[in-house]
Chains A and B, each alone.
Chain A
Amino acid sequence: MISDKGMAFIAAGLAMFGAFGPGIGIGLMVNGAMQAIGRNPDAAGAVQTNMILGIVFTEAIAIYALVVALIMVFVA
């Protein structure tokens, strides 16, 4: 009923549900960083560096979901 290509596109859309988790995770992380900077503005540099680091790690998970979606669209 649904063609193979159509199924692949649906799969690509479903795969991007995996971007919910990192989105929430990054939000929580930046929340913590904002609170830390608010409490101790002198430590803003160190806090920001570690926040960027953490964001990069969690964003990689969203990129994994994106890669699966790209495979669905272009390879399958």
Chain B
Amino acid sequence: MNTSLRGLLYLVIGIAVIALVCVWPAFFLLPQVGAGVALPVIVLPAEVLQGNLLPSFFGYDVTNTFTSMILVDIILLVIGFVVYRATRVSAPDRFVPRGFTNFMELVTEFLYNQGRPLVGENTRKVFPVAGTIFLMLLVANLVKLVPGFESVGQLACAEPNQTYYNIHKPYGSGGAYFYLNNALDISDRSGTRANEDDTHACEEKYPRLTPPIVLAKQARGTYTETKGPEENTESEGDHSEEGTPESGEQPADATGEANPAEGETAPDPTQSSSINPMSYRGVDSTVAKAETGNPEAFVVIPWFRAYATDLNLPLALSLIVVVMVQFWGVSALGPSYFFKFINLPALGNLGKKPLGAIDFIVGLIEIVSELSRLVSLTFRLFGNIFAGGILVIVLSFLMGFLLPVPFYLLEVFVGAVQAYVFALLTFIYAGQAMTGHHGDDDHAEAHH
């Protein structure tokens, strides 16, 4: 057969395979065992794990990016210590490093050679900052791809407008998992967004599962209480509270690419032997819909989250870079560095060159340009890492088998590139600040 007919055959086979592999398991096969296509829980700010760590002193909430930060710092310190020992202590006479030290020298030299043409003789001032930023972002963006990040965590009640799931505990097994009846189950409300009644009902029934951020706000007195239900939700039988689960004691689960309904195993909140365990959903869905809220609205708060998805980190790094660029400019050019912004020489030459007034206005616009660097550095890093994380998690929830793999590789690439780009931009901004603007024409007199 000719080529176009063969192409048509391949196309039809391809569509059939895609329908078989992507549509049928996710929407028809797996929901029958309670594992359907679901909506992931995406939260923009970092989630609080333990509020008010030192309430009388700091009132600081431990978020799940704080734990990531500690992990990244420990990794960096270990790397630094190992390389230091290898170069200084164990074999000081060995000029050619081996193994891991060789790799770190490769990384450092790569960045140094990237920066040296841009900065020139001031590399010794700029390279420590740029190198630290590069290594920290590299480690932070690569460690977020380890299985367990953003997927293993503690159980909590769903806050309003979070997608929640009920817990299903099969009879005779020791664990439980999040349960979904149909794919994109809207009718049953599991897998949809919670409202305030759900949060209230859940907090009343499982007070130990109150979201930590709510506890922190209550302790600080800044929690605005939404109107709760008047009566308790109707549950079947009488449930004793001795089975309330401990938050944070879950054994680790498989990677985030696994079946979306396989959540973390948790001790089951309530036990009632009068209900058929295979259909146990906690609260009868008709009751949940009709009355004041679903107390079984749970969500998982991951213990670790990608460090750069906390907006504070890119903002902090951008602030450091922008402020340090001003320092380096002054150290290289002296106080006349600020003539870039407030162009006094151009103003002073108004008699001879009236068009110098334009240079003065341009100098003022340079201030805006500096501030826009702050914004662009922050959001470039934050947007890339956060959007990449959302992409992977949404694809994992859509079809967790093989589909997220190329996007996972994309994440590896994007994470490394964003780290490199941040450091490179540090070099570029420093180089621009230190060479200064030579736009004026009255450099005929010696201006060294």
Task: Determine how close the nearest CB of chain B comes to the CB of A23; give it in whole angstroms.
Answer: 15
Decide: B386 and A70 in contact? CB cutoff 8 A.
yes
Complex Cα gap A60–B382 (Å): 10
Are A74 and B44 in contact, CB atoms less than 8 angstroms apart? Answer: yes
Q: How far is the CB of A73 from chain B (nearest CB, A)?
A: 8
Most buried by A among B382, B383, B424: B383
Q: Does B379 contact A (CB under 8 A)?
A: yes
Asked if A75 is at the interface (CB within 8 A of a chain B CB), the reply is yes
Which residues from chain A contact B43 at a C-beta distance below 8 Å? 74
Contact B380 A66 (CB under 8 A): no
- The verdict on A14 contacting chain B, using a C-beta distance below 8 Å, is no
| Contact of B387 with A by CB under 8 A | yes
Among B44, B114, B424, B425, contact of A70 (Cβ-Cβ < 8 Å): B44
| A74-B42, A74-B44, A75-B44 known; A67+B424 contact, CB < 8 A | no
Most buried by B among A53, A63, A66: A63
Chain A interface size range: 10 to 19
Identify A63's interface contact among B42, B380, B424, B425, CB under 8 A.
Answer: B380
CA distance A22 to B124 in the complex (A): 35
1/0 per residue B40-56: CB within 8 Å of A?
Answer: 00111000000000000
CB-defined contacts of B424 to chain A, threshold 8 Å: 53
Q: How large is the interface on B (under 10, 10 to 19, 20 to 34, 35 or more residues)?
A: 10 to 19
A66 touches B387 (CB 8 A): yes
Contact partners of B380 in chain A: CB under 8 A: 56, 59-60, 63
A-B CB contacts (within 8 Å), total count: 34
Q: Which residues of A contact B425 (CB under 8 A)?
A: 56
B421 within 8 A of A: yes
In Å, the complex CA distance between A63 and B83 comes to 36
Q: How far is the CB of B303 from chain A (nearest CB, A)?
A: 21
Residues facing B in A59-73 (CB within 8 A) are: 59-60, 63-64, 66-67, 70
B384 CB–A CB distance under 8 Å: yes
List B residues 395-433 near A (Cβ within 8 Å).
Answer: 417, 421, 424-425, 428
Within 8 A of A (CB), among B370-385: 376, 379-380, 382-384
Contact B379 A67 (CB under 8 A): yes
User: Hey, which chain B residues are within 8 Å of A52, CB to CB?
Assistant: 417, 421
**Contact A63 B379, beta carbon cutoff 8 Å:** yes
Contact B379 A60 (CB under 8 A): yes
A63–B44 contact, CB under 8 A? no
Check A67 against B383 for contact (C-beta < 8 Å): yes
| A65 nearest in chain B by CB position | B383
Q: Are B376 and A60 closer than 8 Å at their CB atoms?
A: yes
Taken together as a complex, chains A and B put the C-alpha atoms of A52 and B14 apart, in Å, by 35
Chain A residues positioned under 8 Å from B42 (CB to CB)? 74
Distance of A64 Cα from B42 Cα, bound (Å): 19
Q: How far is the CB of B130 from chain A (nearest CB, A)?
A: 15
Contacts of A56 in B (CB 8 A): 380, 421, 425
Which A residues touch B382, using CB under 8 A?
Answer: 67
Among B42, B417, B421, residue most surrounded by chain A Cβ atoms (within 10 Å): B421
Q: Look across to chain B and name the residue whose beta carbon is closest to the beta carbon of A62.
A: B383
- In the bound assembly, the distance between CA atoms of A58 and B428 in angstroms comes to 16
Of residues 13 through 59 on chain B, the ones whose CB sits less than 8 Å from some CB of chain A are: 42-44
- Please name the residue on chain B nearest to A59 by beta carbon: B380
Measured between alpha carbons, how far is A12 from B434 in the docked complex, in Å? 41
Near B by CB (< 8 A), chain A positions 2-59 give 49, 52-53, 56-57, 59
Rounded to whole angstroms, the CA-CA distance of A7 and B162 in the bound complex is 18
CA distance A74 to B60 in the complex (A): 24
Q: Which residues of A contact B383 (CB under 8 A)?
A: 63-64, 66-67, 70
Whole-angstrom CA separation of A63 from B424 in the bound complex: 18
Contacts of B421 in A (CB 8 A): 52, 56
Q: How far is the CA of A46 from the CA of B425 in the complex (A)?
A: 16
- Given the complex, which residues of A lie within 8 Å of B417, measured CB to CB? 52
Q: How far is the CA of A52 from the CA of B386 in the complex (A)?
A: 21
B184 → A minimal CB distance (Å): 16
Beyond the given pairs A60-B376, A67-B379, A67-B383, 19 more chain A to chain B contacts, judged by CB atoms under 8 angstroms and listed by A's residue number, are: A52-B421, A53-B424, A56-B425, A57-B376, A59-B380, A60-B379, A60-B380, A63-B380, A63-B387, A64-B379, A66-B383, A66-B387, A70-B44, A70-B386, A70-B387, A74-B42, A74-B43, A74-B44, A75-B44
- Sample 5 A-B pairs with CB under 8 A, ordered by A number: A60-B380, A67-B379, A70-B44, A74-B42, A74-B43
**Residues of A bordering B, CB below 8 Å:** 49, 52-53, 56-57, 59-60, 63-64, 66-67, 70, 74-75
Q: Lowest 3 CB-CB distances: which A-B pairs, in order?
A: A63-B383, A74-B44, A60-B380
